[in-house]
Structure 1
């Protein structure tokens, strides 16, 4: 019965995907470079595509745009995610609307430049000169008194919007654009509305005068400020507009609280940022052609939160960014600035040199939602909301195709709950969550487990595994949360000190959790320094930017720090580090000047000509088990400070399909004969047996300057190696913490 149901689900999903694919319009963008965190495109990604073929006048363009919006609305209604009902049931979303919105864009087929009603005139088509000017608003479909009230409010709000976002774009410079704001009650799936830079029209589904309505309108108006110069990626355009709208709306309506589940921004995720910053967030698209929408909810919220963290460093960031962006924009450039992430990052880094205590570039590549590259393959993402004695868990399981589309999958998730006193905690809700059309849900609660403690939740889906942590019993009452609470992973006790914004609060860590119950006000943009010390361990300092509501602070404790050294000869090295570094930037870790570091890591799931990530754009943190190519122009002694790799348990490495660049995680030689392989939830197998089962190539390859590539029997500390997985997902390499015998060399 179960297999029949699964087959039926697969057919339904296939029909949905086919429908969505058949009605998709011409592509609005062309990928020029898929380097992680450094992508470049021509055109606009992740928008409602308006068919521009044969369009000759403004009326045709408006009609085509309206048709494309209707079509997108129809498709998204039919793939509406179940997560909406789940989170509303448990009170995470309480308002009438979620606020999902999109841009609707027509582009010139070859150049991918945005086609606008003004550019259809012959003089403008030849060359457009952009600058700043003014905008006026025309309201359509509203009652007369509502339209007049909104017009007056926007006019009075204009100085604040300009203060936050800078002057609106106009062509020619100094002119006034007329932006239409249309009440479109047919929008439901797109209940946040649609802005089209092609027609300069904003469509909103409703306006009742609530704080959310004003925030939503402001965020669309800020899209319209950029107009034909909207940025090419939702992570930049949508994220910035939402973040700036939160700041502007708070200035205009002081009682606006984006974290309010009734009347704030339903997609405000800053309080959960530490929990939700996971690799699957990365994608050039927020809503893919398949219509799978759930990941979009998290991407909207996390992109806004990321840019809010930047704005904490300089509240004028968005205005300064736009002023520089407009002044440097060249529509005829081979890679337009709007889609040139390296150039956009440079502009941002000149305004804000550091974010959360890190160099802007280093910080940027740690924020997964800002990765606009495509990484194909199976993905597992876990959205989780800690309550007082329970946790809301929404599991997203899907496959990313080489063009960035996301195909939702069916599966069964297995969960294990554990803490410092039990390896298998009981939850009445059970240990399984059925995943249908990419989404699975469970809301376990825990009773009689001895008060506040840190619960570890291991989640496995079809051989993929991830871990989330639940700081139990430290949140406080709903809507009266402790301002900062969380967990110290790897330490049962210790101390956490939070400093900044004129406060210094110290709390003890007990059973891995802590809570600051007073003395901290997050009703604004706040910047904090956090010092955390496990009992008998090393004090580490981190930085967090926060704003509004509360913040779940997740920290990693370090019981000890050691210094390890290795002398590398001039030339190439296949290597890895045998400790967990205390620093994040690879140049700082290795003690090599940034301008001299030549470092690369192979990512088998990258799409494009090269699958190497090259410093300073390596997304995988430098940790034990990760292999790299290092090129030195002279002999060099590398000194690394870090926490020793735990030697009381096997080291597990998930493998992607194809070759994986790995490294010895331990400070002693290891034998290939000791390697084990696990496929999905099966039993550990030897390399040879796993090879016979078709899971992995039995050969392990090392490389040295003297001999080049050769099959390995022993892998020395600091040495890298290659293994090839024969399955796209679900294969794990298990390395026991056993020193290789001398005769194994």
Structure 2
């Protein structure tokens, strides 16, 4: 089924991929470079020419089609917002687009007046009637806003890039969609706004302001949404939150400023600003070159390819830049001044240079060579804002939005909150671009208390069904045992995992509602002093959770919150700074060391490895100091049943395993954020094979790992490998890694820097809980000896490309049916030498059969380098001499007595099979009986005889003196039964022998060393 899904999605992407021109030419995380604007709809007008009416129709067609597809992806999320009261039931989300025309492959830029240089322009906004006039009073309102707001924009954003006259015309929206409207279109090429008629004048004013801010960059806008949309929306929010804008709108409407404030705030909260939720929503999967999937921007739009996370991305980008501007209010104006001064074509898409300009701007504003944001150096802070990562990362992704309040908490509820899950996939298109698709799935949340004991909640909260990319759950935690502590929820789908944390009893209750709350790592119990705008509160920290209520006045505007934490003995243990949003603030604070290092040492050749921290450098090529075009890095994706290769591999993170092939040995010191040591590390696994990494810097015993299936309680690793009733085990009994000879070996120790194969046997998947080293050194009594076959023979294959080992076993029928008796082979990386035991369509590394009669194992050899010599060696344990063990090569017909030889050399030209036959030997020595010689046409003699048992047979023609004249059969293994040979009466040089009597000598040796000989005279008459 999954193959069909991937195939269909691939077809859907192909048409859109053909139209996707602009992409990252450098795709390093947080350091990308684009070859053009990725944040706009490019409309090719080659077929319609420059006819204004035809261009209008084409623009409207493209915009409406994009809007319909875009809202289709976000509709489940928007309707959930409405159900939860986060949006009014009749609210229509305004969707904005920027359009640039292109003809003959060249972008059509606006006609510019001479303005004395870039960044010294002036905008003139004219609201026109056109073919579809605005209502008169609405037109006058828009014109009044446009004419008076320009000064406010210049104060915040500086002078416009160009001197332009922009017309505003009515966009007659015919979509009739109850959830969304086309809020406005900025037509860059024609310097105009296509604007909607809003029922709310306040919303119209805010959204017109946004388009005006967008036009300030004109044709030199940044190539990425994270910057262009982030800047424009942040500036819009800052202006619209200000008194001057509210007074302006109120004056035009003839009302008091406080009358317009609620509608303006609602517009900003719904479409622009998510700072109160920022810490909870800031997750790595947010990053993208464009917030909307390319299949929505470029025609034709394919069904089923819409990305539903675009709304969250817009909110988070705005919020990130707003947080920076809280400390540096003039940042946007000062940045633009430097940007215009240094502008050359291409700068708008060069993130490293844009970051450098931002750093210079902050240095000038702060007077420091190392400016900080929220207490972190700017470059470090920037990399912590995942929405600002403009690189493409491929694969399935899961994002969790947590909303901390509900409308009516019950008396015994210590915690209740809403979580929206977004599940989607970033796919590489045929042209080398990217696209996104919404996915279906099921998540079985794992709820943890502060001590990481699994919690059992109501069955309603044990499963989250995700349809068209969206799922929701509102878990409720009741009882005094769950009061005043940091709660954790792990949501997983397949191998993707998203974590939500929540401070129980610190957010709301039946008689209180706090507006500043959060969780802290690095302090379990103590207190925190919180200073926001001069108002101070000291509150307790209980099991990592805290919360309090500040005055409405304090929380009514953005501010800097400074937190100082004290332990139970009132000693200061750490500080944090949070730049807040409006109304309330949820925070996540980490006091433990934010950085650590790990030395990764790998030999030359093929290795399986991992990194036990989250590196600050997220590009593998730079992290390992290997040129990108020489990096051979791979990761297994079970849903594709194939490997993905750099740059499509997941970003470095604890818990993820990789293959790498290097020419030389590798030694690199990696800096990054370590996995927390106060709790288990959760790794979500999907059915089938999973390539994982050890998440900690110290080794742990595999037997201390626990496994969670659906909503069951965690079980030990040993229990997870056993069948219960008619149910299969949760996981395979063996964990595999790569040995020094390039072969898979099983292990019971998880070591730092190494990667491991784990096979999941349940279709729902499982979650591994890997304990930190302080709890992972347990010396559990090993049952591994009991999981070894009574008789086992290892066969080792060696080749120039590496080696492999398989185990053939015999045991009692009962034990041979145990789960450990057969061990599946993990997927081999292309180019690896593979040796496995065929069983149906599966390849095994161990196959234990029941003791008894004849057994035949079929081996499959997959050479890493065909047509080169391979050597198979074996060691036969103490075995009854009554057993014969034979190796057969069906290609050459060779039969090797494995008791008499310990190695076999062969040269496979491709995939090849060998057979190992084990059978009881005859108790009587082998005999040769019934030898007959008969002449046939052409002076050819046919020789027949019976062999009473399997043996190694040699046959030759000798002279009367005993000299060997012709070797009829070299020594080779032969089965019991009738045998036949032919002789043409010639010697070994094909010379005709003269008439006379010659001797046929046949010699057979069985596995016990018994020898049988037979001699028969042959008379040649002519």
Give the TM-score category using the shorter length. Answer: 0.7 to 0.9
Partner SS state of residue 146, structure 1: helix
For residues 215-246 of structure 1, the C-alpha deviation after alignment (integer angstroms, 9 at most, x for no partner) is: 22211111111121221111111111111101
Secondary structure class of the residue paired with 1:246: helix
Is the aligned partner of 1:152 residue 2:185? no
Residues 421-446 of structure 1: CA deviation (Å, up to 9, x unaligned): 97425347432222111111222344
1:539 pairs with 2:573 = yes
8 Å Cα contact 2:709/2:766 also seen in 1? yes
Structure 2 distance, partners of 1:80, 1:710, is: 45
Q: How many residue pairs align between the two structures?
A: 693
Residues 231 and 338 in structure 1, CA contact (< 8 A), matched pair in contact too? yes
Residue in 2 that maps onto 1:407? 437
C-alpha distance in structure 1 between counterparts of 2:182 and 2:200, whole Å: 15
Deviates more, 1:276-285 or 1:191-200: 191-200
1:647-679 CA distance string (max 9 Å, x none): xx7654457999968456144x44679889889
- The residue number in structure 2 matching 1:327 is 341
Q: Which residues in structure 2 correspond to 1:118-517 (within 5 Å)? A: 118=111, 130-139=118-127, 140=129, 141-170=133-162, 175-186=163-174, 188=177, 189-251=180-242, 252-253=245-246, 262-267=266-271, 268-288=273-293, 289=295, 290=304, 292-331=306-345, 336-352=346-362, 353-387=371-405, 389=409, 390-402=416-428, 403-420=433-450, 423-427=454-458, 429-449=460-480, 452-476=484-508, 482-489=514-521, 493-499=525-531, 501-517=533-549
Deviations 1:114-170 (A, max 9, x none): 323539xxx99xxx9854311122224322333223222222221110111121222
Give the Cα–Cα distance (whole angstroms) in 2 for the partners of residues 467 and 552 of structure 1: 15
Aligned-pair distance for 1:526? Answer: 1.6
Q: Do 1:31 and 1:42's aligned partners in 2 also have CA atoms closer than 8 Å?
A: yes
Cα 1:64/1:532, change in 2 over 3 Å: same
**Kept in 2: contact 1:624–1:666 (CA 8 A):** no
- State the SS of the aligned residue for 1:169: coil
- Give the conservation status (yes or no) of the 8 Å contact 2:316–2:387: yes
Question: Is 2:424–2:469's contact at 8 Å kept on the other side of the alignment?
Answer: yes
Matching of residue 29 in structure 1 with residue 34 in structure 2: no
Q: Per-residue CA shift, 1:165-223, capped at 9, x if unaligned?
A: 121222xxxx4332334343335534432222222222333334543332222111111
TM-score (norm 1): 0.77
Query: CA distance change for structure 1 residues 405 and 222 in 2, over 3 Å: closer, same or farther?
Result: same
Tell me how far 1:612 sits from its aligned partner. 8.4
> Secondary structure of the residue that 1:532 maps to in structure 2?
strand
TM-score (norm 2): 0.58
CA deviations over 1:584-615 (Å, ceiling 9, x no partner): 9689xxxxxxx9996999785999864689xx
Partner of 2:41: 48
Offset from partner CA, 1:671-699 (integer Å, 9 cap, x none)? 67988988999988789999x99999965
The alignment partner of 1:398 has SS state of strand
Distance in 2 of aligned mates of 1:54 and 1:416: 56
Q: In the superposition, relative to structure 1, how do residues 400 and 575 fare at CA in structure 2: closer, same or farther (>3 Å)? A: closer
Cα shift at 1:501: 3.1
Change in Cα spacing, 1:373 to 1:651, as seen in structure 2 (3 Å) is same
Contact 1:321 1:348 (C-alpha < 8 Å) held by counterparts: yes
Which structure has the greater CA radius of gyration?
2
Deviates more, 1:383-392 or 1:201-210: 201-210
Q: Is the 8 A contact 1:664 1:715 kept in 2?
A: no
| Match runs of 1:45-84 below 5 Å | 45-54=38-47, 56-57=49-50, 59=52, 60-76=54-70, 78-79=72-73, 81-84=75-78
**Which one is further off, 359-368 or 674-683?**
674-683
CA shift for structure 1 position 347: 1.2
Matches within 5 A, 1:611-622: none
Q: Which has the higher contact order (CA 8 A, sep 6+)?
A: 1
Q: Is the 8 A contact 2:287 2:390 kept in 1?
A: yes
- Retained in 1: the 8 A contact 2:307–2:437? no
3-state SS of 1:85 partner: helix
Instruction: Answer whether contact 1:284 1:404 (CA < 8 A) is retained.
Output: no
- Counterparts in 2 of 1:660 and 1:41: CA distance versus 1, 3 Å: farther
1:518 aligns with 2:528: no
Q: Match of 1:265, SS?
A: helix
1:43 offset after TM fit, Å?
A: 1.6
Which structure has greater strand proportion?
2
In the alignment, what sits opposite 1:721?
754
Q: Which runs of 5+ in 1 are unaligned?
A: 588-594, 614-618
> In 1, distance between residues paired with 2:288 and 2:701?
38
Deviation at 1:532, TM superposition (A): 2.8
Q: Separation in 1 of the partners of 2:74 and 2:219?
A: 30
The 2-side partners of 1:196 and 1:45 are apart by 15
- For 1:523-576, what per-residue CA distance to the aligned partner results, in whole angstroms no more than 9, with x for missing partners? 333223222345479712222111322111123465xx8999999999999998
Q: 1:673 to 1:313 in 2, by over 3 A?
A: same
Q: Is the 8 A contact 2:157 2:333 kept in 1?
A: yes
CA distance in 1, matches of 2:595, 2:149: 56
Q: Is the 8 A contact 1:51 1:64 kept in 2?
A: no
C-alpha distance in 2 between matches for 1:574 and 1:475 = 45
Contact map agreement 1:16 1:79 (CA 8 A) in 2:
no
Is 1:39 the counterpart of 2:39? The answer is: no
Check 1:165–1:626 CA distance in 2 against 1; reply closer, same or farther (3 A cut): farther
Q: Is structure 2 residue 100 aligned with structure 1 residue 105? A: yes
Q: Measured at CA, do residues 376 and 137 of structure 1 come closer, stay the same or move farther in structure 2, by a change above 3 Å?
A: same
8 A contact 1:575–1:628 mirrored in 2: yes
Q: Residues of 1 paired with 2:646 and 2:498: CA distance?
A: 29
Residues of 1 paired with 2:158 and 2:355: CA distance? 19
Q: Is the 8 A contact 2:616 2:671 kept in 1?
A: no
Higher mean alpha-carbon deviation, 402-411 vs 343-352, is at 402-411
- The answer to whether the Cα contact below 8 Å between 2:600 and 2:668 also exists between their aligned partners in 1 is yes
Q: 1:50: how far off?
A: 1.3
